């Protein structure tokens, strides 16, 4: 029986300078092994094209793509500044769902400014690859996972000012196990509670309160089915303030008590 390699590793980590429009890649035509790529612009710009159109990727941004997908990138026609870039190409392994989630939520071009945690990890990975400084494959896989998580966290944080409703959506999904309430979430988003609820419901076809309760109950149901935690412990671990509140909500959702849900 073949063993599936779940630990991603770096295939290539390099820095380049491009100055000619002949620099152009159609990913669908690449013959390289299946890989995930993060390509960061250090200076100048490159264009990136997918089904949604074409855009420039300027300094402090990065393009995220895979080989054998219908996307392309290259040096802009008419550009006068050199395009300086760093990139890492890494194996798919078990990291692709996180990579796909990052692109799904924020698109294939993301912010990656100087002095950010993600950029520091990105540069550390490239240096470790060049100088063969990875302690082992686990260290390599750990850094790649940390890089994608840092990138995701930084994109979420950016939406706090650019799109507070989207930021609130991410905030709820990331903090539902804590006893947060909608007044607090609206304050974090710097909008009124009424505005947050109204705009959130319009955009996601679900009120923030409904999302919060659904996430908590789904998490609680998973704990009941997979652990021996007490009902009180499950309630607190799922963001409910008391077991009584949890039991009422659980019966309303699943038409049974938490205790009877266990196998």
Q: Considering the domain boundaries, does residue 200 fall inside one?
A: yes
Q: Considering the domain boundaries, does residue 1 fall inside one?
A: no
What residue numbers bound the domain in which 239 lies?
216-261
Give the whole-angstrom CA distance, residue 209 versus residue 220.
Answer: 16
Residue 236 confidence (pLDDT) above 90: yes
Do 19 and 140 sit in the same domain of this protein? yes
For 45-88, write each residue's pLDDT tens digit.
999 999 999 999 999 999 999 988 999 999 999 999 999 999 99
Residue 168 confidence (pLDDT) above 90: yes
Do 142 and 125 sit in the same domain of this protein? yes
Residue 174 confidence (pLDDT) above 80: yes
Q: Considering the domain boundaries, does residue 5 fall inside one?
A: no
CA distances from 54 to 47, 89, 209, 217 (A): 7, 22, 38, 41
Which CATH number fits the domain that encloses residue 86? 2.60.120.280
Task: Enter the pTM of the model.
Answer: 0.90
Do 192 and 240 sit in the same domain of this protein? no
Determine the straight-line distance between the first and last CA of the chain, rounded to whole angstroms. Answer: 32
Residue 259 confidence (pLDDT) above 90: no
Q: Considering the domain boundaries, does residue 3 fall inside one?
A: no
For 102-148, write each residue's pLDDT tens digit.
999 999 999 999 999 999 999 999 999 999 999 999 999 999 999 99
For the chain, the domain total comes to 3
Collapse the DSSP code of 215 into the 3-class scheme (helix H, G, I; strand E, B; otherwise coil) and give the result.
Answer: helix
- Is residue 196 a contact partner of residue 165, using CB atoms and an 8 Å limit? yes
């Amino acid at each position: 029986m073949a063993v599936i390699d779940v630990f991603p590793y770096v295939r290539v980590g390099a820095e380049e300078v491009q100055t000619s429009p002949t620099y152009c890649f159609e990913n669908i035509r690449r013959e390289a092994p299946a890989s995930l790529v993060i390509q960061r612009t250090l200076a100048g710009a490159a264009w990136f094209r997918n089904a949604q159109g074409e855009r420039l990727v300027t300094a402090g941004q990065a393009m995220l793509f895979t080989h054998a997908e219908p996307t392309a990138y290259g040096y802009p026609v008419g550009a006068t500044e050199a395009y300086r870039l760093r990139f890492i190409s890494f194996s798919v392994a078990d990291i692709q769902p996180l990579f796909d989630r990052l692109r799904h939520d924020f698109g294939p071009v993301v912010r990656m400014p100087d002095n950010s945690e993600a950029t520091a990890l990105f540069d550390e990975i490239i240096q470790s690859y060049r100088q063969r400084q990875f302690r082992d494959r686990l260290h390599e896989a750990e850094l790649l996972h940390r890089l994608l998580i840092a990138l995701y966290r930084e994109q979420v944080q950016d939406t706090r000012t650019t799109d507070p409703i989207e930021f609130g959506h991410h905030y709820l999904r990331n903090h539902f196990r804590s006893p947060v309430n909608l007044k607090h979430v609206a304050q974090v988003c710097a909008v009124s509670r009424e505005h947050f609820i109204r705009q959130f419901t319009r955009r996601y076809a679900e009120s923030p309160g409904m999302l919060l309760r659904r996430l908590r109950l789904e998490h609680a149901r998973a704990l009941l089915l997979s652990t021996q935690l007490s009902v009180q412990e499950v309630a607190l671990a799922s963001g409910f303030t008391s077991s009584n509140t949890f039991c009422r909500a659980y019966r309303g959702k699943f038409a049974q008590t938490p205790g009877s849900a266990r196998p």
